[in-house]
């Protein structure tokens, strides 16, 4: 006879690792990119007189102006990468929570059961909402996810006491 609690616990731990490992790597990479793009360039040289230097002065001044615009765009990109790194870090923390809940379910902790039911219900609501939006093969994927979450709620809500 399968122990449904342990199956759900293993699923939470696998979901935590599957979501957490790429999120940590993304947070590190995006954070490094934000630091590189956010580095301040060297101070621009003063503008050259076009009457003294002619075409060279004009080209140098245009290049300085373009460097300023590109520096501003690099700063905007650094902020965007910083926000994405923070989002990836939050996702990694959520994945850590999923893994801890899975470990708690494996140890038959009551807090883990309550938290797992709440998380499964919230994710099932999200899947139901997306089921109304997506089309094609994505509906099949949503239906499978809904079935998996329904199984988790059933195993933790009604079957948990019999297997504890």
Q: How would you write 39-103 as a 3-class SS string?
A: CCCCCCCCCCCHHHHCHHHHHHHHHHHHHHHHHHHHHHHHHHHHHHHHHHHHHHHHHHHHHHHHH
Report the distance separating Cα 131 and Cα 139, nearest Å: 6
Residue 160 pLDDT: 62
Q: What's the chain's average pLDDT?
A: 90
pLDDT for residue 135 is more than 80: yes
Q: For the chain, what percentages of helix, strand and coil (3-state, to nearest 5) are there? A: 85, 0, 15
The predicted structure's pLDDT at residue 159: 67
Q: How much is the average pLDDT of 74-99?
A: 96
The tokens for 87 are: 């989002």
Taking residues 51-64, report their average pLDDT. Answer: 85
Q: Where in the sequence is the domain holding 18, given as residue range(s)? A: 4-163
* pLDDT for residue 121: 96
Q: What's the pLDDT band for 47 if we cut at 50, 70, 90? A: confident
The residue-averaged pLDDT of 155-160 equals: 80
Structural domains in the chain (count)? 1
pTM: 0.80
Statement: residue 43 has pLDDT above 80:
no
């Amino acid at each position: 006879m399968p122990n449904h609690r342990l199956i759900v616990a293993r699923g939470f731990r696998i979901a935590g690792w599957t979501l957490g490992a790429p999120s940590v790597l993304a947070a590190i990479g995006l954070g490094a990119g934000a630091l590189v793009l956010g580095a301040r360039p060297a101070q621009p040289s003063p503008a050259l007189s076009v009457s003294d230097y002619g075409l060279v002065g004009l080209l140098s001044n245009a290049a300085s102006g373009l460097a300023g615009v590109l520096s501003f765009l690099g700063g905007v990109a650094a902020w965007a990468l910083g926000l994405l790194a923070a989002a990836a870090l939050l996702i990694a923390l959520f994945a850590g929570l999923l893994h801890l809940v899975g470990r708690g379910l494996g140890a038959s902790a009551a807090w883990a059961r309550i938290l797992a039911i709440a998380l499964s219900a919230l994710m099932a609501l999200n899947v139901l909402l997306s089921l109304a939006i997506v089309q094609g093969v994505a509906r099949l994927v949503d239906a499978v996810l809904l079935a998996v979450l329904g199984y988790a709620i059933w195993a933790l809500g009604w079957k948990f006491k019999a297997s504890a």
